[in-house]
Amino acid sequence: MKTAFTSVMLIAFVISTLLLVAADASHSMDAIQQQIVSKEREELDSLKTGDLERFANLLADDALFVDAHGPASKAEVVKNVAGFRLLDYSMENARFVPFSAESGLITYTVTEKGISHGKEFAAHVYVSAVWAKRAGRWVCLFSQETAAK
């Protein structure tokens, strides 16, 4: 009888420990998602305010960006956004895939209005971005934008 009771107590302890670990991991992934969404918004807000230094600091030096014009480096993107200003944007349908405790992929749809090289524009775009924590700060490593149809 004592052996059965001890076995039941051991199983209950193992199960409760596993549930606590799983809950902690889920909370941790939620926190990472919130940080990455916040950084993605910070990136968009810097394009709205015209703070190119802030924008550039959110990008990894070895980052790669892809849009309808093809791939571009950080330097090329920073140079191009000098003539770009968001007036308004909204992020919708955000989804997140964690890669690790310090990295993940976010996808979302952005509806935006702005001025690009002197011309007004409005766009509806699918965005995917990979973010990682490097040297204690979050940076975007990769981003792809696809015009929505």
One digit per residue, the tens of pLDDT, for the chain of length 149 reads: 566 556 544 454 445 443 434 444 454 678 999 999 999 999 999 999 999 999 999 999 999 999 999 999 999 999 999 999 999 999 999 999 999 999 999 999 999 999 999 999 999 999 999 999 999 999 999 999 999 98
Q: Which residues of 15-52 are buried (b: 16+ CB within 10 A; e: fewer)?
A: eeeeeeeeeeeeeeeeebbeebbebbeebbebbeeeee
> What local confidence, expressed as pLDDT, does residue 67 receive?
95
Architecture of domain 2-147: Roll (3.10)
pLDDT of residue 9: 47
pLDDT the model gives residue 22: 43
The confidence score (pLDDT) of residue 119 equals: 96
Q: Which residues of 70-92 are buried (b: 16+ CB within 10 A; e: fewer)?
A: eebebeebbeebeebebeebebe
CA–CA gap between residue 120 and residue 113 (Å, rounded): 7
Q: Tell me if 105 sits within 8 A of 97, measured CB to CB.
A: yes
Hey, which bits of the chain come out as E strands? 59-67, 70-73, 84-100, 103-116, 119-134, 137-147
Tell which residue, 111, 56, 99, 44, has the closest CA to residue 80.
56
Q: State pTM to two decimals.
A: 0.80
